[in-house]
A and B are shown apart, each in its own frame.
Chain A
Amino acid sequence: MSKYKTEVMVGVFVMLTIGALLLLALKVANQTVATEGDTYTLYAKFDNIGGLKPRSAVKVGGVTVGRVSSITLDQEDFTPVVELSIQNEYSGFPETSSVSILTSGLLGEQYVGFQPGFSFDGVANLKNGDYLQDTKSALVLEDLIGQFLFNRGSDED
């Protein structure tokens, strides 16, 4: 009897764990194959990346298409280089696309906003390893305030 009960209870324990793991996987972490799926890499140089971090989202019009995989500093011109891994299913962006570092909400996380450019003849699509030319840096609050004060100062003259 007791051996039977033990085995049943251990079985319940294991099922509970699997249930909890499924909850974490599907509902909490939204683990889908796509996040682990094939990606291609693009690079973008910014003057200032503000609070951007590895794993920040890359969004096109609010849809997450990839993540920042790493941030390094170019050793020659000392500007930050952001490496973006974009999921393969979102490919075919034209070369004229631009990226900017945006903030979700007033105090929210920073993410990379990807703006697909116009595609016309003679413009190729972005390929693995390409650099994005058109970038807009993060807004840094201190710079904004400084500019604001400076402008006010010049207005009063």
Chain B
Amino acid sequence: MKFFQSIGAKTIGKVTAVGRAALMLFGALIAVPRVKNIPLIIKQLYVVGVQSLLIIMVSGLFIGMVMALQGYTILVDYGAEGSLGPMVALSLLRELGPVVTALLFAGRAGSALTAEIGLMKATEQLSSLEMMAVDPLRRIVAPRFWAGMLAMPMLAIIFSAVGILGGHLVGVDWLGVDAGSYWSIMQSTVDWNQDVVNGVIKSLVFALVVTWIAIFKGYDSIPTSEGISKATTETVVYSSLAVLGLDFVLTALMFGIE
């Protein structure tokens, strides 16, 4: 009996949490376009975007370099090292760019968002906004949400571009793959809609999920030091799992069915 009761209680808890998350997002987005809020979005874009730039670019560079190195040692056995360009580019654009960016974003910006909003709640700043007749959903949540939605695809694009340049650095400059074939075979293989646009769509979906989880976890956290630390951990864990799971679904939808 106790067993079923605990399952039931957990299920109800989760379902109501999803409901609260949906209500929060709805409340935040219902009155979006206000000119007054644009500076707020820019400020958040700085916090979640610009401050994640360094980690994104360094990771992109190294991942591109490693892929070129690994790819080269495999492809050179078949005399197909000319295909290094498309290999690096396609892996980055379709998979690694959106996914790794989302994972890094969850760790770097998502956790910070949760902690910030959680602490605002703990220090009664959210309540205080409400009492000043300012809706915290619009003032605090909405700008952060839009900044996340904008920043993540931008970061993913930069990640892929830097990765391709990193691949060029290792493949062409160090291992001696022909620069012409690196770019030209890449160009003939990579398709704008199929690869670049689909990658951006992926990262938009990830942006929605990661930002949403991060903001909701902060907004819904128990306002104690323990509650906030738990919420921060959950943000990183849940968003990482959601990103990887969704990545499979999206890949199947975009590339799996012909």
Direct contact of A and B (CB under 8 A): yes
On A, residues with C-beta under 8 Å from B are 6-7, 9-10, 12-14, 16-17, 19-21, 23-25, 27-31, 35, 53-55, 57, 64, 105, 107-108
Which residue on chain A has the smallest CB distance to residue B189? A109
Which of B5-13, B23-31, B45-53, B242-250 is near enough to bind chain A?
A: B45-53
The answer to whether B186 has its CB under 8 Å from any CB of chain A is: yes
The closest CB in chain B to the CB of A71 belongs to B258
Task: List residues 153-192 of chain B with CB under 8 A from any CB of chain A.
Answer: 154, 157-158, 160-162, 164-165, 183, 186-188, 190-192
What is the bound-complex CA distance between A72 and B46, given in angstroms? 50
| Chain B 179-217 residues near chain A, CB threshold 8 A | 183, 186-188, 190-192, 194-196
Q: Are A27 and B80 in contact (CB under 8 A)?
A: no
Find out whether the CB atom of A53 lies under 8 angstroms from the CB atom of B258.
Answer: yes
Complex: A57 Cα to B187 Cα, angstroms: 12
Residue of A nearest to B60 (CB): A20
- Some 5 contacts from A to B, beta carbons below 8 A apart, are A13-B154, A14-B154, A29-B190, A35-B191, A55-B194
* B192 contacts A17, C-beta separation under 8 Å: no
Complex Cα spacing A28 to B49, Å: 24
A108 vs chain B, min Cβ distance (A): 8
List the A side residues contacting B80 at CB < 8 Å.
Answer: 105, 107-108
Which of A17, A53, A55, A64 is close to B157, meaning CB atoms less than 8 Å apart?
A17
- CB atoms of A10 and B50 under 8 A apart: yes
In the complex, the answer to whether B50 meets A13 with C-beta atoms within 8 Å is yes
**Considering the chains assembled together, what is the distance between the CA atoms of A25 and B195 in angstroms?**
11
Q: In the complex, are the beta carbons of A23 and B161 less than 8 A apart?
A: yes
| Contact count A vs B, C-beta below 8 Å | 79
CB of B16 to closest CB in A, whole Å? 37
Knowing A13-B53, A17-B154, A29-B187, the reply to whether A24 touches B42 (Cβ < 8 A) is: no
Contact residues in A for B89 (Cβ distance below 8 Å): 28
Q: Is B43 an interface residue (CB 8 A)?
A: yes
Asked if B45 and A13 make an inter-chain contact with CB atoms under 8 angstroms apart, the answer reads yes
B195: chain A residues at CB < 8 Å are 29
7 nearest CB pairs, A to B: A20-B161, A30-B187, A17-B154, A31-B192, A29-B192, A6-B46, A9-B50
Q: How far is the CA of A95 from the CA of B146 in the complex (A)?
A: 56
Which residue of A has the minimal Cβ distance to B90? A28
Instruction: Check B258–A54 contact: CB distance below 8 A.
Output: yes
Which residues from chain B contact A54 at a C-beta distance below 8 Å? 258
Instruction: Give the residue among A9, A17, A108 with the most B Cβ atoms within 10 A.
Output: A17
User: In the bound complex, do residue A24 and residue B161 qualify as a contact, i.e. CB atoms below 8 Å apart?
Assistant: yes
Q: How far is the CA of A57 from the CA of B188 in the complex (A)?
A: 9
When the two chains form the complex, which single residue of A16, A28, A105 contacts B158, counting CB atoms closer than 8 Å? A16
Query: Which chain B residues numbered 48 to 66 have a C-beta less than 8 Å away from chain A?
Result: 49-50, 53
A27 touches B183 (CB 8 A): yes
A12-B50 CB under 8 A given contacts A27-B187, A28-B89, A107-B80: yes
Asked if A17 and B188 sit within 8 Å, CB to CB, the answer is no
A63 to chain B, nearest CB (A): 11
Assess whether B149 is interfacial by the CB under 8 Å rule: no
**Are B188 and A24 closer than 8 Å at their CB atoms?**
no
CA distance A64 to B188 in the complex (A): 9
Chain B residues, CB < 8 A from A7? 42
B93 within 8 A of A: yes
CB distance from A12 to the nearest CB of B (A): 7
A50 to B152, CA, bound (A): 40
With the chains together, A25 CA to B93 CA distance in Å? 12
Does residue B4 face the partner (Cβ distance < 8 Å to A)? no
Q: How far is the CA of A55 from the CA of B189 in the complex (A)?
A: 9
Contact B50 A23 (CB under 8 A): no
